[in-house]
Amino acid sequence: MTLADWVAGAARRLAEAGLDDARREARVLAAVGLGLAPGAVLTQGERVLSAEETAPLAAMLARRVAREPLSRIVGRRGFWTLELALSPDTLDPRPDTETLVQAGLDLLPPPAPGKTPCLLDLGTGSGCVLLALLSERPDALGVGVDIAPGAAATAQANARALGLADRVLVVVGDWLTALRGPFDLIVSNPPYIPSADIAGLEPEVRCFDPWRALDGGPDGLAPYRLLAREAPARLTPGGALAVEVGQGQDADVAALLAAAGWREIGVKQDLAGVGRCVVARGRQE
């Protein structure tokens, strides 16, 4: 069997499984499985594959047909300008979450001599949001918190791989309970799926993302109530909060923050025009 034959057959199986962009995904699987650059899959199409080469390719293909996300099979995900490792304890970062990164950058004051902004990322997972922020702000320091030790280890490994470890502290803990601050910016992509809705999610999410990172309680708003109540005490005067929200949750989350006394509350839309991020500032003293 040639490489081109394998890619064609894999693309057919992926398409039959209902997956979009099946041929591109087949090429990615081939490149990763054979250790090739993506373009080499096209230029080496006549290469004859050995049994030792096709066996791991078949295993990878079976995982994708079973709807395991391509990024989890590959073990990495591109996010912002970064390449991040994933693990079973982390969410697979979505492009929508880049809205949260941009919102955080917009809330930070411009770099100034002698000033070191301190950032806190609650539920850091792979570290995608915190590390993206720090990559853009070399003057800043950051703390990431996650209740899952595996997620914290993944975030710390990503920080090392990106050369950011000297500006990052990753803590295993239950959000704000072990932290005093103060921080200039708190960001979070919290669990926000209503508990009863999780079973109806796409298999790539339902079966492979950690449920603890998805389940936001009966109405999906439990983490935001906690943040509205407790985050102000961890902020510098005038410090800011930015949180990702699910589709249709922006008004409810904004109302929770307003009722708790937050100010300058706003909503940031993602590229699809969905209210994806709610921002606010704490008390000004």
Domain final residue pick, 66, 101, 116: 66
Distance CA 1, CA 3 (A): 7
pLDDT in tens, 50-86: 999 999 999 999 999 999 999 999 889 999 999 999 9
**Claim to verify: residue 108 and residue 234 sit in the same structural domain:** yes
How far from 81 is each of 85, 160, 185, CA to CA, in Å?
Answer: 14, 16, 21
Distance CA 116, CA 111 (A): 8
- Specify if 71 maps to a domain: no
Binding residues for substrate: 189-192
Distance CA 246, CA 264 (A): 21
Binding residues: 123-127, 146, 175, 189-192
Give residue 268's Cα distance to chain centre.
Answer: 17
Domain final residue pick, 23, 46, 66: 66
Q: How confident is the model at residue 285 (pLDDT cuts 50, 70, 90)?
A: low
pLDDT in tens, 175-223: 888 787 799 999 999 999 999 999 999 999 999 999 899 999 999 999 9
Please tell me the number of Cα atoms within 13 Å of 23 on its side-chain side. 5
Distance CA 229, CA 57 (A): 50
- Specify if 265 maps to a domain: yes
pLDDT at position 284 over 70? no
- Here the tokens at position 11 are 């693309």
Distance CA 253, CA 29 (A): 40
- Here the tokens at position 229 are 């109540």
Domain final residue pick, 66, 92, 118: 66
Cross-strand pairs, 263: 281
3-class DSSP state of 241? strand
Give pTM, 2 decimals. Answer: 0.90
The residue among 227, 230, 196, 231 whose CA lies nearest residue 211 is: 196
Binding residues for S-adenosyl-L-methionine: 123-127, 146, 175, 189
User: 32: domain range?
Assistant: 3-66
Q: What is the CATH number of the domain that holds 249?
A: 3.40.50.150
**Claim to verify: residue 257 and residue 145 sit in the same structural domain:** yes
- To the nearest 10 degrees (0 to 180), the angle between helices 51-65 and 22-34 is 140
pLDDT at position 283 over 90? no
Which residue in this structure is represented by tokens 């803590």? 171
Number of domains making up the chain: 2
